[in-house]
Structures are given as structure tokens and as C-alpha cells.
Structure 1
Amino acid sequence: MSINSQSDLRLSGSNNRPSNRRNSQNRPFTEEVKTTYKRSFRDANSIYPPFCRKLDLNVSDYIPEGDIEFPFEDIDDVGDENKIRGNWSSRMDYLLSAVGFIFNLGNLWRFPYYCRINGGGSFCFCYIILMLIAGVPVLLMELALGQFPSMGCLSVWKVVPLFKGIGIAMFMVSCIVCIYYSAFAAWAISYFISSFKFALPWATCSNDWNSIKCSVWNRDNVASCFLQNGTLLRNGSCLIDKEYLSGNSSVLEIASFDVDEHVLPSTEYLHNEVLLMSNRFDKINPINWHLALYLLTAWFIVFLSAFKGVKSSGKAVYVIVIALYMVLFVLFVRFLTLPGSISGLIYFYTPTWKFLADLTVWGTAAGQVFYSLLCCTGGLVTLASYNKFHNNILKDAWILCIVDIMTSLFCGALASSAVGFLCYELEIPLERFSFKGGAQLVFVYLPEAIAKLPVAPIYSILYFAMITAIILTTMNITMETIVSAICDEFPERLRRNHRHVLAFTCVIFYVLGIPLCAAAGLYWLLLLDYFTTTWTLVLLAFLECMAISWAYGVDNFLDNIKWMIGFYPPPYIVWKILWKFVCPFIYLALLSLAWFAYKPVEYEKYKYPIYAEHIGWGISLAPLIAIPVTAVVKFCSTKGTFIQRWLDLFCPENEWGPALAIHRAEYYPLQIPEARRLILPPQKERTNGYDGLIRSNEIIGKQKVQTDSTSGTYIGKMTSLPAFERETAI
């Protein structure tokens, strides 16, 4: 039957609603529908998808004929495919947003540190291997989970209702990450504003916040002072008058820079000026209200960028992400031109192969993979949920994997070249340099190296603009994850009030972030970062993999991917083995290593009190407790016998599937009322007496049905088909 024939339309049913009709060659999945029918017409139950397993269907053989027109949604290439929820304006918006999401602080302040202390190139080898066999599978799984039903991290677990607690755990982890990332954004904004001064405030020891241990050591100034037979002082000045030195005890000379006795001015600037840092975990006051104001600025920027959802944030990343990599490249090239940078680069990436035999190195590399990709936080699920249904997520997964590996290696090269130059200036060997990761690498060592450059304020402005953009981009996507999850869970009430939910959430998170601006804020930040984004993500990945591969079924999941991209991810058997056996085993092994090699959190020489460790474990376990609690609540609220409840909770809900009816009808048209009217013969007798279209009546199974003389189709009595209540753009 031709889809453009009016007589054929009358034959196909009585659906008179207007529709935007197109030629079949412009609709790539029309042939897929015909192929599906020809393959499965002998077994009518096979017409129904795996997510209708609970139906007891007794359907006779049904043979469709001809092409089928679906007048459900207008899915032209122009505009959104999903008119209600919205889509990315373009695929490039989505890819750049995903790149901005995975280019986070983990690439810049964790990877260089772990690489330095775990054998350099050996750690890079472990990182790449684990990225391929443990990172890419969970990355593809989350992209497919989000894109197939077009839902956020909470609603997507309609696929296996018993494990909806995994989505709640992801939601809670995203909330914690967003709160403490905002404090780092306030730090970066503070540094960015201070960079506009003629002389960088962390370049000297002559400020009010500097202590007696603050020491400035510049190789050129030292050589010049010694040539004049002078005495170098801790503040970096050269004293020629020996009598003044002997008569003034407040002036301290320095013969060499000792990393154990002397303190960099950038360290004291962070501790004493920016943070007003206390010396204890429990000493909260005072709150740095300048930092609280910068925190408010960060949240205001996030609110503006997410005001129109993915439409506004997608356009912002065009400039931000490209600028990030440009600034990163400029800084790296500048450091390469400095003495000592090449030595630092070689020392950093030279492999020490004995570390490959250390299981803790593999565990650390795996933790870095999850922290770098930010898997199991719901962000990747949310990003993919705004894709068009037939977007190639397999290609996206490999692109993001390669970009993440290259970004991590590039950030490691930047840090190693800067540290190499810093060691050259301080005249200390690379192996004696006390290399530390985390906040000290980003806010102490790299700013210290930049302060020693000519026209240092310009490079400092570029550097802290990059740091601010990295943090705000991650916050923006994480915030979109949280708001989308809430709106998708309560679409009738909250979807139209997206901006109100966004504003309310930003205000709540700002209030919760103010204590992180207190004197003990640094200790709390490190505690949250240490206990939230390490083994918790690995455990969530294990549970997610088990729920999809074993409860929902890895074959069903691969069928869903084929539904979206048109083919199974090659090679089929490899992905099946990875998701069912290899990945769960790796995640369990990594959990064992993480717990076996656990070390109490500490900052420099300060060790956290015992109750702080208990607080950290409580924060870490809070998202995980939601998983069994939600399972119990779901079980108690489900009707039926004990066995039936378990079976129902392991089966997907009726709402699980493509969001749009036209995509459901591509493979399972008998589920969709509009499609049924087009392919099923009418069950109510119609007579016209003139056009001769209806020639005979058949009695099958004591039910009168109409048949067209040209079709010769017979259909038996059918049970009622499920009507999907999922909100679509029909």
C-alpha cells in the first residue's frame, strides 16, 4: 500500500486526524518495520517488546502488508524531536557539553598526583587499560540508559523498579558534588579577581598574612645577589649592608630553600588570606564573607547558564570548552619554553614497571577512571536523555573515552612541566620536591610557577579563568542532572516550572555551601571529596551493571541499543561478556582493593579526628542506604502475592521504552493505538454500498471482523492491548 494513496488510507482504517506525511525514503526505519513484521508474523507474541512480558496474550497469526504511515509526532530534522521535554539544538551541543562535564578537576588535580606517586608511565598504562575494559562499558551503558527512554537518573530506573534506589543514590551523589564544587568555584573566582593586580599577591612575602617561614627563592635573583656579595633574605630581597643584618634580628637570611623549613608564599596566600584557615577540623569560625560573596556569584552564573535548560547551556559550551583547551595549550607551550620543564616532563612520564605488580596502583587507576568520567553521578544519563532517539551513542562513547584520556595526559604534562620549572627555580632535585595533589596542586604549585613568569598577571588571568570555567561547567551539567531528575519524576507539576525548581535548588545549595567558606571549610571539602567520589562510584557501577545485565537482561539491553543506532555494538559477544561477567568482577575486585588499602584522610601533617572519619563514612554510606530502603518501599507498595511482587519489580514498567509513540511503533506498532488503527482491520461492521471496498464478512472465533478482498487477511479474537499512559508528543 502506498503511503501517499488516499484510497489506501481509507483501507487502513478510520483515523482522520491530520498529520505531516513524508515519503518513505525520508523515514529510514520504515523498512525496519516491514522486516520486523516479516520476521515475526508467525508468532504474534513476538510483536510485543520484552517490557510487556507480564501480558498473557493469545493472538492469532497476523500478516501485515505494505508500508505504514505513523501520524504521531513531527520529527523533522528542524526543531526538537521531543516537543514536551526538548532536545539538544545540535549534536555538537551535546558532545561539547559532555566533554565539558568529563573535563573536571579530577583530570587536573588528581591524575598528575597519582601518576607521579605510582610510577609515572606505568600508572598511565594502567589507567588506559582500565578505561577501556571498565570505563567505556559503564559509559556506554549510561548513555544508552538515558537516550532510550529520554528520562533523568531517577525515572530511568523504571527499567528495573526494584533498583530505583540506584537512581536515588546517583541523585544524592550529584547533590554532594555540586555543593562542594561550588566552594572550589568561589576559590577560583577569588584568585581570578586577584590576578588583575599589577603584582600577584602570592608572589611575595611582604604581605600582612605572611609568616616568618615564608620564603621567596628566585634563581636569577639569587645569582645576582651572590655576585654582589650580598645576603639573600627570606622575603626575596638582597641585603648588601652586613652591619644592618647583624644589628637587626627581625631580618632573617636564607642560604638555600629547604622544603621542610620554608613555606611558599602561594601556600600562605591560600591558607591565611583566601580561606582564613584554622588549624583544627572543628574550629568553624570565622566565615570569610568575601568567599561567601564569590560563592553567590558562582551560583548566579550557574542559574543563568541553566535558565533555559539544555538550550542555553548547550550554546554556552561552544565558547567555554573550546576556550578551555586553547588556554590549556597556551599554558603548556609557555611552560615548555622554560628551563627545567622538559626534565620534569621526562621524570613525570618515565615508567617504573615494578608498579604494575602492585594491585593498589590498579585500584587507584580505576578510581581515577570513575572520578574522571564522573560515572554513576547521573550526569551522563541526563546528557544523553536530551539526544534524539537515533543518535549514535556508540560513537559518542568512544569519542568521550579518547577525549578524556587525552585530556588527562595533557593535564599531567602541564603539571609536570610547571613543577619541573619550579624545581629549577628553587634549586631542588625533582625527587626531593614534595609533590602533592588536590587543592595544593591547583591553587599552590601552579600559581607559584605562574608567578615566576614574565607578565605573570596575564598568565594568571588565563589560568584561573580556565579553572573557573572547568568548575562552573561541571556544576552546570550536575545542576541540570538534579533539576531534570526532579522534573521527570513529577512531570505534571514540575516540568512547566523548570525555572522555579532551578532557582529553589540553587538557593538551597548556596545556603548549604556557606559553611564551606568557614575557617575549617578546607577540611570539610577534602572530607566530602575523599568519601563521595571514590569507592562509592565503583559500588554504584557494580550495582548498575548487575541490574541491567542480569535483572533486565543484557540481550534486551543490546536490542534497545540496536533499536536506537540500527545495529548491535560490534562485537556483540564481547559487550555481552563485558557487561555480564568482566565488569562486575572488576568492580568487585576494585572495591576489595579500595577497602584493603584504605588510609585515613589527612591534609599535610594534620590528621583528622576519629569522629571526622565517622562523619565521612556516614556521608559515603548515605546514598547507598537509599538502595535497600527504596527496594523495601517498592516491595511493600506493590500489590499481589510474595512471588508476584518480586516478578513485577524485576519487570520493566509499562512506561519504559521510547518516549515518542512513533519510535515505539517502529518495532512494536500493535502497542500504539494510532498504529493499530492503521494495520488492524476494523472490528465494527461498516457498510457503504457504493465504493465496493468491503466485500465480505468473516466469523472467526465467534467474533465478526471485516476483511478487505484485496488483502485476504484473517485475524482472530485479540485480548485488549495495553494503553501506554506515558506522556508523549502526540
Structure 2
Amino acid sequence: MHMTVCLVLAWILIYLCVMKGIKSSGKVMYITATFPYVVTTAFLVRSSTLEGAMDGLYYMISPDLNRLFDPEVWLDAATQIFFSMGLGFGGLIAFGSYNELKNNCVKDTVYLSIANLLTSLYTAIVVFCVIGFMGHQTYMDCLDNDYKTLMTLYPHKYGSLEELKTSIKLDEYIFWMEHQFHHSEFPLLSNASRYCNYKDIIASSAQGTGLAFVVFTEAILQFPFPPLWAVLFFLMLLMLGLGSMFGTLEGVITSLNDSHVITVKKPVLTAVLCGTACVIGLLFTTRAGQYWVSLFDHFAGSYALMCIAFFEIIAVIYVYGYRRFLNDLEFMTTERPGKYWTITWRFVSPVIMLILFFSSIIKSFSHHPVYSAYDPITTAQVDTAYPAWALFVALMLVSLALAPTPFIYFVRKFKIWKIEGDIPAASKCLGSTPSTTYMLKSEPSFNRMVESTASELQTIGMNGPSTNGSARNSENDRKGNGSNRHPPKRN
């Protein structure tokens, strides 16, 4: 019940921030984008002073080279980049459409990539400092348990636990443990103790949601003034969640709003989308919620995202044409991208995504897909095979995410459903550049718009757009679901 209330309140907050578009969410993003850096810095300063933090950092920079041959590792890495940068969700395209037409998008892309890399490394340092600290705590508890076991097995040899620790130094005992010499020294201990391996303890640390809600929560209890750190940490998680949802929703809302397929006002459309997402989210508040999150994240959040990104590259580079795309970039940035970008867009990126996708599919289904489930007997997470109905749900999730692409293609190809507003709206959102204007000339709706609004289109016709134009008018000029960037109504 508590999780359901929190979920509803979170979506209400998201709606209030997004209902007016960039005008409202843009101001909130100043907080959601900067506050996590402040909290992360505070955690870095505190966690770096904890015992075991340096061991955690050493573990972070100690690679397991065998994992590089696992395709799922590369898929997870690619998915992480897609999530952290918002690729394939439509948010970047939606936000970018508010920039000036002459905005240097190439520099923005480079800066964004560098900032994303540095942020990932920065947060990784904090995470592994905390993991190292918790691993050290668990490791010391493990060793302390063996000391107590020694006292139980050899009560006649040592008078007290303190005497035992004085007689057998910790470093000496760790040496015995790691080299398994304790079996000969204390034969009864071999069956009564567990092997305490620091690396194994860190490697078995919680991941995903468990990292945030288990490991960090336990670590915060060891900090001075735990309530303060807890409030800061969970506020940071809230800000990160809000920032992610702003971009995702803006990508969907802007696309539907600009297409003219849905004619309701923007606040109403936003309310419907937020309400729908909230209802779907109720599934994650059940007792099996963490397993649903794992199912959605593993299938819909990786395979579908990779396919969508692949279709985007194919649409821009091969359908629209890479030469037109290069002309557009040269027109907007005054510099033509070099051979590196051309080769990357045309060959490297599509091939890499195809290899990652199919190799991951083969790896996943060569063995039955599994998920981590709680075992009440061993009180540990064990790998459990997905039931058949769960795999069917996963297939539906991926299919639903990919269905709009072929659906719209066949609708436009065979003229099953005439969408009158998309071409005029697209041409005005784009500005348009000389290449897009030339391509859109083949569309009848575009030609009718040109004939009916010749005076308005004089600056964006075959002579190219005005250099003072913009990809969108400012948010202050947008009222409801309309905008003066759309063509005027025809009689």
C-alpha cells in the first residue's frame, strides 16, 4: 500500500512538472540535474575516508578479461550508455528541436558524451568506495565468526576471545585462511568455518535495485548522522528518476503533439500518458514487483532499445540518405563532418549493433533465460529459469516496443491511413534545410502547403531557410497543443 501511494504521488509530481512542456520542466531540471552532483560529492568525501574504501577502488580497476568475451556484457554496457544518454527514447530529439536551427549539434554531442563518461566514472568511484566499505565489514564479521568458532572448538587452549586474538594476529590468521593452512593448524575448524575471501564478498554484492536500497542503506547506517545521509540519498534518487522521466515523456508527448494525429490539448495528453504509466507501474508494487522490474529491464530495456537505435540509423543514413544528412549538418554547423563520421554512421555503428543484438540473443536462448530469485532455505539469491508465460510476456514487450516502426511504414507505404498533418508539421519543425525541402517536395501534402502558404514559405523554400530562423519558436509562443510553427488552417 505504501509503495502504491508513493507511485501515485511520484506520477502526480511528474505531471505537474511536465504539463506545460519545456516552460515548466526546464526550470525543474536545473534542480534535478545539479542536486545529484552535490549529493554524490558529499558521499565521495565521506565514503573515501571509510575503512575498506581503497580496497573497493582497487577491485573496480582490476579487470576480469575473460568477461570481455561475453556478448551480454557488451550488450549491458551499450544499454547503460543508451540509458544514461537517453538514446533511442526520443527525449534528445524532442529537446534538441527547441534549439536554434544554426545550433552546433556536433559540439553538443561531443560535450554530452564527455560529460556522461566523466559522470559515470565519478559515480562509480563513490559506489565502489561504499561497496569496499561494506565488503570490509562483512569480511571482518566473517573472520570474527571464525575466532568465535575457534573458542568453541578449543576452549582449553585459550582462556578468552581477547586472548585468542592476541595469540593469533589477524594478519597471520588471514594468511592461513587465504592459503588454507588453517586446516592443519586447527583440524576441527575445517568443517566448522567458512572461507572468508574478500574478493568473493565484493563480487557477490547486491546489484541493480539492491545496490541502492540494500548496500547503500546499510552503509548509511554506519555514517555519522544516518538520517541526514538517508534523506540526501533518497532525494538524489528522486531527482534522478524525475530527470529521466522528463526526457522520456517529452519525447512521446512532442511526437504525438506534432503529428496532429491526437488533437487534444497538451495538458490533457500529458495527463493520459502519466495516468497510463502509473497504472502499468502498479504491477511493480506487488510482492513480485522486483521480478517484474527484472523482466522489463532485461528484455524491453535492452533488446528493444538496440533495435530502435538500429532502425534510427537505417532511417537517417540509408532512407533519408547520408549525403543529405551531411549537407544538413554542414548547413547548420558550417562544417562538413569528415570521413570518420561517415564511416561510423554507414558501417561501424549498424554492424556493431547487429553483432551485439544477435550474439546476445544466441547467448540468452542457448540456455534457458534465468533471473535471480530469493531462496527462503538458503536465504540467498539463486538463478531460476523463467516460466514459459514470462517469456511470452517478454516477447510481447519487445514486440510492442518495435511495432510502431513497421506499422507506420506500411501505413505510409500503402496509404492505408492518410495522415495529413505530419509532413507539413515536420517541414516546419525542421526549418527546413535545403536537403529536407528537396526530399519533401515528393509529398503531395507538402506541395499543397507550399501552394497555400507561398508567402510564408518564401524563407524556407528551394533557396534554403533564413539564417535567423529556428527549429522551433520559443515555448512562450506555444499555447495549448498548437504553435505558430504549424501551417495555418486552409479553407
TM over 0.5: yes
Say if 1:393 and 1:565, in contact at 8 Å, map to a contact too: yes
Residue in structure 2 matched with residue 727 of structure 1 by the alignment? 486
Give how far 1:634 is off. 2.4
CA distance in 2 between partners of 1:511 and 1:653 (Å): 33
CA distance in 1, matches of 2:318, 2:437: 24
Mapped pair 1:512 → 2:280: yes
Q: Compared with structure 1, are the counterparts of its residues 323 and 633 closer, same or farther at alpha carbon in structure 2 (3 Å cutoff)?
A: same
User: Is contact 1:345–1:420 with CA below 8 Å preserved after alignment?
Assistant: yes
Rounded to whole Å, the distance in 2 between the matches of 1:491 and 1:632 is 17
Task: Calculate percent identity across the aligned residue pairs.
Answer: 29
- Where 2:414 maps in the other structure, the secondary structure is helix
Q: Quick one: structure 1 residues 500 and 588, their matched pair in 2 at CA, closer, same or farther if it must change by over 3 Å?
A: same
Please list, as runs of the form range in 1=range in 2, the aligned pairs for 1:166-205 lying within 5 A after superposition: none
User: 5+ residue gaps in structure 2?
Assistant: 143-196, 373-380, 439-446, 462-483
Is it true that 1:455 corresponds to 2:225 in the alignment?
yes
What are the residue-to-residue correspondences of 1:406-417 with 2, within 5 Å?
406-417=118-129
- Alignment partner of 1:436 is 2:206: yes
For the pair 1:389 / 2:101, whether they are aligned, the reply is: yes
| Paired AA for residue 243 in structure 2 | T
Where does residue 573 of structure 1 map in the other structure?
339
Which of 350, 354, 376 aligns to 1:584? It is 350
Q: How much has 1:628 moved relative to structure 2?
A: 2.7
The answer to whether 1:478 aligns with 2:237 is no
Among 534, 548, 551, the residue aligned to 2:302 = 534
The residue aligned with 1:628 is: 406
* Closer/same/farther in 2, CA of residues 627 and 308 from structure 1, 3 Å limit: closer
Measured at CA, do residues 677 and 331 of structure 1 come closer, stay the same or move farther in structure 2, by a change above 3 Å?
Answer: closer
Q: Which has the higher contact order (CA 8 A, sep 6+)?
A: 1
Code of the residue aligned with 1:385 in structure 2: it is S
Deviation at 1:636, TM superposition (A): 2.4
Distance 1:580 1:526 in 2: 34
What residue number does 1:493 align with?
263
Which string of whole-angstrom CA distances, capped at 9 and with x for unpartnered residues, describes residues 218-248 of structure 1? xxxxxxxxxxxxxxxxxxxxxxxxxxxxxxx
Give the AA of the match of 2:15: F
Alignment check: 8 A CA contact 1:515 1:521 kept: yes
Query: Structure 1 residues 661, 366: CA separation in 2 closer, same or farther (over 3 Å shift)?
Result: closer
The SS at the match of 2:223 is: coil
Please state if 1:424 is matched with 2:202.
no
Conserved? CA contact 1:665–1:675, under 8 Å? no
Q: How many residues align?
A: 380
Q: CA deviation at 1:601?
A: 3.7
Structure 1 residues 558 and 416: alpha-carbon distance in aligned structure 2, compared to 1, 3 A threshold: same
Query: TM-score with structure 1 length normalisation?
Result: 0.48
The amino acid across from 1:577 in the alignment is I
1:673 pairs with 450, 454, 470, which one?
454
User: Taking structure 1 as reference, are residues 310 and 316 closer, same or farther at Cα in structure 2, changes over 3 Å only?
Assistant: same
Shift in Å, 1:662 = 8.5
Determine the structure 1 residue equivalent to 2:371.
602
* 3-state secondary structure, aligned to 1:377: coil
In the superposition, relative to structure 1, how do residues 315 and 353 fare at CA in structure 2: closer, same or farther (>3 Å)? Answer: same
SS at match of 2:224: coil
Deviation string, structure 1 residues 82-101 (Cα, Å, up to 9, x no partner): xxxxxxxxxxxxxxxxxxxx
CA gap of 1:594–1:510, structure 2 versus 1, over 3 A, is same
Distance of 1:636 and 1:576 partners within structure 2: 32
**Partners of 1:623 and 1:613 in 2: how far apart?**
16
Equivalent residue in structure 2 for 1:401, among 113, 116, 133: 113
Q: 1:661 to 1:329 in 2, by over 3 A?
A: closer
Q: Give 2:86's match in structure 1, choosing from 374, 396, 417.
A: 374
Distance 1:638 1:508 in 2: 28
1:622-669 deviation digits (Å, cap 9, x = unpaired):
222333333333222179xxxxxxxxxxxx95664453779779999x
Three-state SS of the structure 2 residue aligned to 1:597 is helix
Cα 1:479–1:528 shift into 2, 3 Å: same
Alignment correspondent of 1:229? none
**What per-residue deviation string (whole Å, max 9, x for no partner) do you get for residues 158-192 of structure 1?**
xxxxxxxxxxxxxxxxxxxxxxxxxxxxxxxxxxx
Deviation at 1:491, TM superposition (A): 7.4
Task: Give CA deviations for 1:454-476 in whole Å, capped at 9, x if unaligned.
Answer: 21111111111101110111112
Query: Aligned to 2:320, which of 552, 558, 567?
Result: 552
SS in 1 for 2:39: helix
C-alpha distance in 2 between matches for 1:493 and 1:562 = 35
Letter in 2 for 1:459: W
Task: Return the alpha-carbon distance in structure 2 between the equivalents of residues 638 and 667 of structure 1.
Answer: 25
Counterpart CA distance in 2 for 1:593 and 1:505 is 35
Secondary structure of 1:453's counterpart equals coil
Aligned partner of residue 437 in structure 1, secondary structure: coil
Q: 1:485: how far off?
A: 1.8
Opposite residue 228 of structure 2, the aligned amino acid is: I
Deviations 1:650-700 (A, max 9, x none): xx95664453779779999x978338989x9xxxxxxxxxxxxxxxxxxxx
Q: Is the 8 A contact 1:527 1:601 kept in 2?
A: no
How many Å separate the matches in 1 of 2:32 and 2:252?
A: 22
Matches for 1:187-226 after TM superposition, within 5 Å: none
Distance 1:509 1:357 in 2: 37
Check conservation: 1:296, 1:510, Cα contact below 8 A.
yes
Residues 420 and 430, structure 1, Cα contact 8 Å, conserved in 2: no
Alpha-carbon distance in structure 2 between the residues aligned to 1:379 and 1:667: 24
* Mapping for residues 39-118 of structure 1, pairs under 5 Å: none
Deviations 1:355-387 (A, max 9, x none): 445555434423332233231111111111122
Output the amino acid matched with 1:440.
Answer: G
Structure 1 residues 465 and 514: alpha-carbon distance in aligned structure 2, compared to 1, 3 A threshold: same
Answer whether contact 1:661 1:728 (CA < 8 A) is retained. Answer: no
Once residues 565 and 418 of structure 1 are traced to their aligned partners in structure 2, the CA distance between those partners, rounded to angstroms, is 44
1:613 aligns with 2:391: yes
Q: Does the 8 Å contact 2:79/2:306 carry over to 1?
A: yes
Q: Secondary structure at the match of 1:602?
A: strand
2:9 corresponds to: 297
Give the Cα–Cα distance (whole angstroms) in 1 for the partners of residues 488 and 415 of structure 2. 30
Contact 2:18 2:25 in 1 (8 A): yes
Determine which structure has more spread, i.e. the larger CA radius of gyration.
1
**Residues 628-707 of structure 1 mapped to structure 2, 5 A cutoff:** 628-637=406-415, 653=423, 656-659=426-429, 673-674=454-455
The residue matched to 2:95 in structure 1 has which SS? helix
Question: What is the distance in 2 between the residues matched to 1:361 and 1:456?
Answer: 35
Which residue of structure 2 aligns with residue 250 of structure 1? none
2:286, 2:328 → 1: CA distance? 49
Gaps of 5+ in 1: 1-288, 640-651, 681-724
Structure 1 residues 357 and 524: alpha-carbon distance in aligned structure 2, compared to 1, 3 A threshold: closer
The answer to whether residue 359 in structure 2 is matched with residue 593 in structure 1 is yes
Query: Equivalents in 2 of 1:676, 1:311: separation in Å?
Result: 27
Return the alpha-carbon distance in structure 1 between the equivalents of residues 392 and 487 of structure 2.
47
- Return the alpha-carbon distance in structure 2 between the equivalents of residues 327 and 579 of structure 1: 37
Are residues 535 and 460 of structure 1, via their aligned partners in 2, closer, same or farther at CA, if it must alter by over 3 Å? same
Aligned to 2:158: none
TM-score of the superposition, structure 2-length normalised?
0.71
What does 1:263-342 align with in structure 2 at a 5 Å threshold? 289-342=1-54
- Could you tell me whether the CA contact under 8 Å between 1:660 and 1:729 is conserved in 2? no
Q: Distance in 1 between matches of 2:91 and 2:431?
A: 26
User: 2:458 and 2:276 mapped to 1: Cα distance?
Assistant: 50
Partner Cα separation in structure 2 for residue 665 and residue 633 of structure 1: 24
User: Which residue of the partner structure matches residue 365 of structure 1?
Assistant: 77
Sort the Cα spacing of 1:509 and 1:360 in 2 relative to 1 into closer, same or farther, 3 A.
Answer: closer
